[in-house]
Structure 1
Amino acid sequence: PVVLDLFHRDARIGEDWLRLHPREFGLFWRLAESPYERHTRLDLLKDVWRLRHDPETNRVAVTVARVRHKLARFDLGHLIATDLDQGGYFLDCEAAPVAV
C-alpha cells in the first residue's frame, strides 16, 4: 500500500519514498482525501495551487503525469485515473494495472 506521510510531505511504498515535490504531494493528498470523487482541473487549481482563476496552462496534467510516473516504478501508476466522460481526476484504489 501507498502511505502518505504528512510530516515529510511525501509518500512511500514499503521502505521506498516516492520523493514527491510539494505540489505533487498536495495533489496526491487531495485525491486521497476522497477516493473515487472526481476533481476537475479547476478544482485542483483552487485546492492545490490556491488559484482562483484559470491560468489556462497544463500544470495539473503535468503534475498528474509526474505522480503517475513515480507510482509506475511500483506498478501503481493506474491509481490516479482520468475521468474522460465527466473530466477530471480521481484516486481509484481498486483499479487493476493496465497492460500497455
Structure 2
Amino acid sequence: MSRAFGALFKGGDAMHVLLAEDDLKLAAMIAERLVAESHTVAHASSGPEALEMAEAAIPDVVVLDRMLPGIDGLSVLRRWREVGLGAPVLMLTALDSIDDRVEGLETGADDYLGKPFAFTELLARLNALMRRAAAVQPDLMLEARGVVLDLLKREARCGDQPVLLQPREFRLLEQLVRNKGDTVTRQMLLEKVWGFHFDPQTNIVETHMSRLRSKLVESGACDVIQTVRGVGYRIDET
C-alpha cells in the first residue's frame, strides 16, 4: 500500500516530503494538499518502512508520526540522527503534553505539531523548517583525491565518470571523504553508517568496503581507500 501510495501522490519538485503516518485517511489528506502546493510526497505507514524509504531517497523534510507500528517514531528519529540524516523533522502526534514535546525535541525533532491540526499550520511549519535549513547553507559538495560527492543529489563521480553506489556505500565513502587525511575506525563506520553502537561480529564493513573500492576502481579512481590494519580506513588529502 505505502509504496503505491508514495508513487501516486507526486506533484512538482519544490519540496520532497517523507510522510510517515499509519492513519491512511489522514495521510491521504496531507499528501493531496501538499501535492496541490506543488510538492512531492513519499508515504510510509510503519517505522521500518520509514527507515527504508529515507535511506533509498533522502527527503527534504519529514512529517513523522510518533506512534508508528513496528518501530515507534522516536526510535526512527533516533536512528536517523545517529546515522547522520539531517533532514528537518516535524513530529506529528496526539501525544502533545510538555513532556512529550520536550522528549521529541531532545531526540532530534525540529518542530512538534499536535493532533488535531489545521493543514495551513502544518504547511507553514514545513515551509519555516525549509527556510531555516536553507539559511544554514551547509557544504553540499565534498572532494578527495579526485572523488567528488554531491550530498544533495547523493551522487558520486570520479572526474566526469559517475560512480553508481548503493546508499550505504555512499555513506561509507562520505565518512571517508569528510575525514580525509584521518583514519576512520571500523567502529565509527558501524555507528555512522549502520547505527550500531556495538560490534555485530560480522564482516559487514569489510564486505561493503570491498564493493565500494571495486566501483571506484572501475570508475577510474584507482584504489584511493587505504586500509589501516587493525584500525580502519582512510583517504589521504593529497
Offset, 1:89: 0.4
TM-score with structure 2 length normalisation? 0.37
> Where do residues 1-100 of structure 1 align in structure 2 (5 Å cutoff)?
1-84=146-229, 87-94=231-238
Q: Tell me how large the CA RMSD over aligned residues is.
A: 1.5
Runs of 5+ in structure 1 lacking a partner? 95-100
Cα deviations across residues 42-86 of structure 1 (Å, max 9, x unaligned)?
1110111111111111111111111110111144242110012x5
Preserved contact between residue 11 and residue 17 of structure 1 (Cα < 8 Å): yes
Offset, 1:14: 3.1
Preserved contact between residue 182 and residue 236 of structure 2 (Cα < 8 Å): no
Identity %: 39
Letter in 2 for 1:92: D
Letter in 2 for 1:89: Y
TM-score with structure 1 length normalisation? 0.82
Preserved contact between residue 161 and residue 219 of structure 2 (Cα < 8 Å): no
Offset, 1:39: 1.4
Cα deviations across residues 28-53 of structure 1 (Å, max 9, x unaligned)?
00111111211111111011111111
SS at the partner of 1:4?
A: strand
SS at the partner of 1:43?
A: helix
Higher helix share: 2
Preserved contact between residue 36 and residue 90 of structure 1 (Cα < 8 Å): yes
Q: Which one has the largest radius of gyration?
A: 2
Letter in 1 for 2:193: V
Offset, 1:93: 4.0
Equivalent residue for 1:98? none
Preserved contact between residue 149 and residue 155 of structure 2 (Cα < 8 Å): yes
Preserved contact between residue 149 and residue 157 of structure 2 (Cα < 8 Å): yes
Preserved contact between residue 24 and residue 63 of structure 1 (Cα < 8 Å): yes
Q: Which has the higher contact order (CA 8 A, sep 6+)?
A: 1
